[in-house]
Amino acid sequence: MLTPRLQRPFSTAGFRRAPRFAPPLRSALLVLLALTAPGLGAQEAASPDDSQQAESALGTERPRIAFNGFGTLGFVHSGEERADFVANQLRPDGAGFTREWSPEIDSRLGLQVSASLTPRVSAVVQVVVEQQHDGDIEPGIEWANLRYSFTRDFSLRIGRTALPIFASSDYRKVAYANPWVRPPIELYGLVPIFQIDGVDMSYRHRFRGWTETLQATLGFSDIEVPSGSTLEIRQMVGLFDTLERGDLSIHTALATARATVPDPGLFEGFRAFGDEGRALADRFEVDDERLTFATLGVSYDSGPWFIQAELGRIWTDSFIVDRTAGYVSAGWRVGSLTPYATYSESRADDPLSSPGLTLSRLPPELIPVAAALNAALNETLANSVAQRSVSAGLRWDYHRNVALKLQVDRIDVAAGSYGSFTQRQADFSTGGGATLVAVSADFVF
């Protein structure tokens, strides 16, 4: 089953330890069975940890196939009517202006197929149906990989896997495995890379009561954005480490990659204005630009209560802007009810605006063009999410495989940023805020 330990209805640790999940390959096969399943991310929640998959594979004499799935039916209301709240900046619309209550933000369906082909070889495919970058509800492949287990603790995977930048990366789309309606967007939106095509290796060992899992990843990713262009991630190299002892878990990550965002003509336009324009283009354009990410997460789940926190940072000399983000969340369990609270924040290290071209130095006929370029640059910089949110919620484990949730968020956007809002109208400005109400039903099978 995809269910965690009964005494910890939504404990992520318990979920990962579910006996029927194979971590590396678990996600890949869910996609094939999703009729319209919206969340490839279910791969993480619907499968066991990597070590369990290896143990299962090494102990299998005959090929075996397992099917699992997960899903969420959720609705979000935003008090801001001049723009849409989105939990993912790669989505075109959400709740607020486009519709008062939006089902697209959190709703999804995921299917996973896991196959143990030989005692050492296994495969996973995970498919998720959810809103895509163009606004359509379509299936997408979250995981699709082959795994070879050299031993029970040492394995190699080839194909598409989740990029384990964050503590909940493997199951961020499996809402049933998390206490919240969704992972804190200030941190989980810091890095726009959720999956990677390539190779990764995992090694697990134990010492003095600790279990440590080391993982190394090499690969690439192509990410489609609402504008119709594609964010190209190349030469991705990542090192990840997870330490576990009893109820305590510590996750660290460090990754770097080269990124390219197609220029719609903005920076080409700046370069036409000589040295000053070329300097601005070189400063902000994302053209084979180095991106570096680092995160640290700590969680403690005693059963009756839990507390967890994560901190992350991105470095880049481009319009993506250097940012630091993090959250702290805690909750306690009273029978089938779990009230919880979260504080989350994302800060930009650099100003979210630029003076741009010096208009006073230009001939009168060029001033309108230069002013338009400056405005477009500042609009681009303002898209960097700098905001803080305070959330309170209640989870009710209504059934063994079903959880109902209610969550209220207050988002305050920093000056100069549009925060997590898109479809902005003319009277919407930076530095605003909104109150959100979300209700959802999460399930696994």
Rg over CA atoms, the chain: 22
Cβ atoms 294, 253 nearer than 8 A: yes
Q: Letter for the amino acid at 438?
A: A
Mean pLDDT of 424-428: 94
- CA-to-CA distance for 39 and 27, rounded, in angstroms? 10
Cα atoms in the Cβ-side hemisphere of radius 13 Å centred on 248: 7
The sheet carrying 421-422 orders its strands as: 95-96, 84-85, 421-422
Q: Is the pLDDT of residue 56 over 90?
A: no
- Mean pLDDT, rounded, for 71-76: 98
Average pLDDT over residues 253-269: 94
Beta bridge partner(s), residue 160: 144, 197
Q: How confident is the model at residue 6, as a pLDDT?
A: 28
Q: Are 152 and 58 in contact (CB under 8 A)?
A: yes
- In this prediction, residue 198 carries a pLDDT of 98
- Let me know: does 133 contact 90? Beta carbons within 8 Å: yes
Alpha helix ranges (H) inside 185-338: 185-188, 266-271, 274-284
Q: Which residue is it, tokens 């079903």?
A: 402
Locate the DSSP E strands across 183-336.
195-207, 210-224, 230-245, 248-260, 289-301, 305-315, 323-332
Confidence of residue 167 (pLDDT cuts 50, 70, 90): very high
Q: Specify the DSSP element, H or E, that contains 57.
A: helix 50-58
Which residues are CB-neighbours of 429 under 8 A, at least 6 positions away?
Answer: none
* pLDDT score, position 304: 96
The CATH number of the domain covering residues in 75-103+149-444: 2.40.160
pTM for the predicted model, two decimal places: 0.84
Tokens of 252: 């660290």
